[in-house]
Structure formats: structure tokens, C-alpha cells
Amino acid sequence: MANLASLLDHQAIRKPEHPAIIENGESVSYHDLAVRVRQWAGALENAGLKAGDVIAVGLTDSADHIVMNWAVARMGSVILPVDHRWTDAEKANVIKGFGAKALISESGEGPPEMTVWLNDDFRAKAAAIDPDRSFPEDDDLPVVLSLSSGTTGRPKGPALSHRQMRARWLTQLVSLGFTERDRYLSATPLYFGGGRSFTMSANWCGATVIMFPPPYEPEALISAAGEHKATTTLLVPTILRRLLALKDEDALLFENLRLMLCTGSILHQEEREQVIRYLCPDFINYYGSTEGGGVSILASDHGLEAAGSVGQVVFGTNVEIVNSDHYPVDNGEVGLIRYKGDGVASGFYKDAEADREAYRDGWFYPGDLGRFDENGFLFLAGRSKDVIIRGGANIYPAEVEAVLLSHPDVEDAAVVGVPSKEMGEEIIAFATGAADAGTLDAYVRDRIASYKVPKAFVMLEALPKSGLGKVQKEALKKNAENFL
């Protein structure tokens, strides 16, 4: 079973009628999923594609998207995730950047000479294919390109092999507790790494995937989870905040959920406590990267002393904090985070320059700064590129942001550095909530050293964020100098 999709054949034998995917009230059994995956893989081969080809999958968030991902994996080709929401120019840039041989689309858009249309004609041709044809069984073949940058400029991403993806999914079983008895509510775009990985790993271990793609109202999400008796789900911070607005003091919003996951950005302490109290008692913040997969988890049973951390290291990953000379530092010292493990990509896809920046002696450097405490909890200190050097002193934005977020009238905060002739760099703080600049200035001065106090405090209605809820600091930096 070297090919990841081989496990679907195994599930089809051991639990043929068990629902693999449920969408709009219709169920696809494991037997039917395994057959459909093989037939669609055969249809892709008949269209001229072969093992090793990069195939851009640009489908909407649907059961068909999951089946196509498995079909590309089954034939030994490489999944290039393409968000169907992108513009034609964005799609073309990523497709060209990775040398994709085809784009799979259902929207009627895409270059005619290289687009495979997922339509009635494709389905009819696939249904006539003998599913017993042979396919590659090589777990060193690349299976997915996990994009780690935007759609403009030069795209980059690591090529993960079947072996590496299997290691990541084993981590999810051990550290997150996924099981074959789960009913996973797929409520996050399948283009995103977490949404795609968790959905496919649920099938891989024999669980049921329930499709409930965005956009949706939070009330509808609660209703769908209850109707389908969902047991696990992955949600981004923006959705969690909308759900908390509906909290009930006397009952959980999700009665059947045994596990709720969050990735993309870290919730501050008060929000996390509210999620555990009002949404789901077993809540896990999952820290990681597209290149390295999961790094650490902050679970509900981790004490208050760990609330500001990203938790403890997951199964199968080794993590170190090192200085600029790449030597490990003592607990409590801030340094560069690096990690390695069976699920960490070996490098970027045909991009030696990116490899030189991020890989060293078998370790991957995500560009994050952090520290370990004496109990093995990992605390982030920001991005290495975001460190502010003010008057020769290193200032870590995460430290200042933590103080701002502790103010009861601050909902969200971000700190950036801007060039300064006098100090080298100056600190600008952006925040949302009911507080004002003068109040925050006094509040921060009472809690951190004077040289860490921002030069200016700017109140906004909302911080610019990505689809995964991460603050886009580059967007803030563009206008930050205006506030000096």
C-alpha cells in the first residue's frame, strides 16, 4: 500500500458500505469511492496524463474535489492545489510556475489546450473504464505540492511524497486523535492545506467526511453539525469568533463534537477559554507550516501557564531553538525554530534558491522565532523577518502584541516596524476594539520596558487578514510610516 490511495481499496474490502463522503444528503460508500477513484484516474490517463505529471486541481469545495485529489494520487501524479476563487492571471501564474500539464476545472474557465473539464462527458467516459487497471505503488513519488506563498510573484511550495503525507496523517491519528469512527465536518476550503489534509486523512483511516463548504452563516454550521452528528471539524479563527457571538451560557453550541481544531493563527487566551466553554470542551490549536506539517498542539487540558504558547511538540517531529550560528540555545532563550521528521518535505519543488534559504543539515527553518519553557511548551516570538531592531535592541512583535491583547478593550492587535533615521526602526501598533491610543500607550508603558513601547497606536475597525485568519502585516507596513 505504498500509494496513499491504496488504503481506499483496503477500506472498500473491510467496510464496503460505510459512508466515505456525505454531500447534500447523498452518501458515497467506500466501495463506490474506491471504484470511482480508479476510474477517474484511468480517465486522466486516457486524456494523455501520466505518473509524475503535475496536475492543477481547481475545483469547487465538493465531493468531486476529494475524488479528483484521490484520482491524481492514485495514478502517481502530483496534485497542484489551485483555488477556484483566483483570477485567471493568478491561476496561470501558479500553473506556469510549477509546470502543470493540465488544469482540472468545472467552471468553463482555463486554457482550452490544457484543461480537463470535469463534466458529464468526463464522468461518462470514466464510468466505462475497468477499475482493475494497474497503477504505480511507489511511496517516494511526489503526491502534492503544498503552496507556501501567494499567487503573485514567483510561487513556491514543497513536493510531499506519499511516504511524507502518510507520516503526517499518522501524526494526526496519534496527536490529534483522529479515528475511523469519526464523522469529520469539512467546513474549510479544500484548497487550504489543513482543509485538504484533514479531509483526505479522514478517508484514509476509514472515517466519514461530511461536506459543508463555505461560505455559510454560523447558525447553519451549528445546525449541520448537529444534523449529521459530526464528531470532528477544523475551523479558522474568523469563524470561531462569529460562533462565539452566538454563545449560550447554559449549553454547548456543538453538542456532538468531541474534537474541534483550529489552525492558521493563534487565538488569544480569552477567546480560547470561551471556545472551550461554549463551543467544544476538547479544543486544539494546531501550529505548523505547509512545508513541515504539524509542529505542536495546544490542547484543552494544557494548564493556564501554557495558554500563551502553541503547546507541546507533536508525535514524529523533532523541534529545536537555535541561534544565528545554528547551535541550540537554553530553555527560555529566543531563537530560530527548526524542525525535522518523516512528514517534513525534503525541499521545495525545483527551487534550489528557496531550499538554500529554508533547509540546512536536514532541518527545516520556517522563519519563526520561539522559545521553549522548562515543561516543553513552545512559545512563538514572531517571524524572524518581523523582528524590529530599534536603537540596536531586538524587539519581538509577539511580546508587545501579547500585552495589547491582555487589555480588556482590545479585540485584536498587530505590531510592525518601519524605517526610522534616528532609531533604525520604529514600532507601530495597530489594534481593534473600544480602547483609544492614549489608554493603550499608558497601559503598555506600565507593563514592558520603555524601549519596547510603540511610537504610535493606531485604532482600526479590522486588521487585514488572509482567508486562514492570519494578519497580513505587509499590508499594515505599507501605511505605517504615515503614523510616525
What's the rounded Cα separation, in Å, for the pair 313 and 315? 7
pTM (two decimals)? 0.85
DSSP code for 267: P
Which of 4, 112, 22, 94 is CA-nearest to residue 58? 94
Q: Which are the contacts of 3, defined by CB distance < 8 A and separation ≥ 6?
A: 73, 74, 76, 135, 136, 137, 138, 139, 141, 162
Per-residue pLDDT reduced to its tens digit, 80-124:
999 888 878 778 888 999 999 999 998 766 676 788 899 999 999
The pLDDT confidence band at residue 149, using thresholds 50, 70 and 90, is low
Categorise residue 229: left if φ over 0, alpha if ψ from -120 to 50, beta otherwise: left
pLDDT number for residue 27:
97
**Over 80: is that where the pLDDT of 267 sits?**
no
Which of 469, 394, 454, 481 is CA-nearest to residue 189? 469
**Partners of 320 in beta bridges:** 338
The pLDDT confidence band at residue 66, using thresholds 50, 70 and 90, is very high
Q: Do the bridges between strand 115-117 and strand 102-105 make them parallel or antiparallel, or are there none, so unpaired?
A: parallel
Higher pLDDT pick, 192 / 54:
54
Neighbour count for residue 254 (Cβ, 10 Å):
21
Per-residue pLDDT reduced to its tens digit, 273-318:
999 999 999 999 999 887 788 999 999 999 878 888 999 999 999 9
Domains of the chain (ranges, CATH numbers): 6-194 (3.40.50.12780), 215-383 (3.40.50.12780), 387-483 (3.30.300.30)
Q: Which are the contacts of 55, defined by CB distance < 8 A and separation ≥ 6?
A: 44, 49, 72, 77, 78, 79, 80, 100, 101, 102, 103, 104
- Classify 105 as helix, strand or coil: strand
The sign of the dihedral angle between the CA atoms of 166, 209, 144, 259 is: negative
**Over 90: is that where the pLDDT of 37 sits?**
yes
Higher pLDDT pick, 113 / 326:
326
Q: Find out whether 390 and 450 touch, Cβ atoms under 8 Å.
A: no
